[in-house]
Amino acid sequence: MEPVRITTPLTKDAVAGLRAGQQVLITGRILTARDAAHKKLIELLDQGMGLPVDISNQIIYYVGPSPPRPGQVIGAAGPTTAGRMDFYAPQLIALGLRGMIGKGFRNTAVTEAMQKYGAVYFAAVGGAGALLAQRIRAARVLAYPELGPEAIYEFEVEDFPVIVANDMYGGDLYREGRKQYALDKGEDAYA
């Protein structure tokens, strides 16, 4: 099956066409943020203040890139475990965040927010940070430079490879994989 090609910003219509298990190539601009930046964003919202970046129809890549070597745009840029952002994600999804990229499964609050507001979670291959960095054409810090690699960056990406792990319909690649494994072994996946 050919990968689905999407271009950012990520509209709700584009999200509606994605299903768990699909391979996707992303081209355009995506944001980055990890735990420290997410904490700062939520603190601003809790204080009734605006965010330093517009997250509406955006994708946030959970990554803390390493410094670039001479001649490189960015160093290794592999995904961070998404569960570390689960506490913060539902509030950002409610504000219009359409996509997230990370590794590992998401909790129920996040998947319910994705279904309610129309968002998607993409999985990127962990341990492939150097290869993924080759798909990043430009990088610039947008907010929180004091956080170093955990600052909020804007990456310009071309054919950035991901897989839809959770879609807006409740499809969950991790759950389905566990079920299939259990069926193959003749076991109960949730015993």
**Can you list the positions of beta strands (E) in 45-126?**
59-61, 99-102, 120-123
Task: Report whether 105 contacts 83 (CB < 8 A).
Answer: yes
- Apex CA 191: angle with CA 79 and CA 87, to 5°? 35
Q: Return phi, psi of residue 129, to 5°.
A: -55, -40
116 is catalytic: no
Burial environment of residue 183 by CB neighbours within 10 A (0 to 12, 13 to 18, 19 or more): exposed
**Which listed residue (38, 40, 98, 106) is catalytic?**
38
Catalytic residue annotation: 38
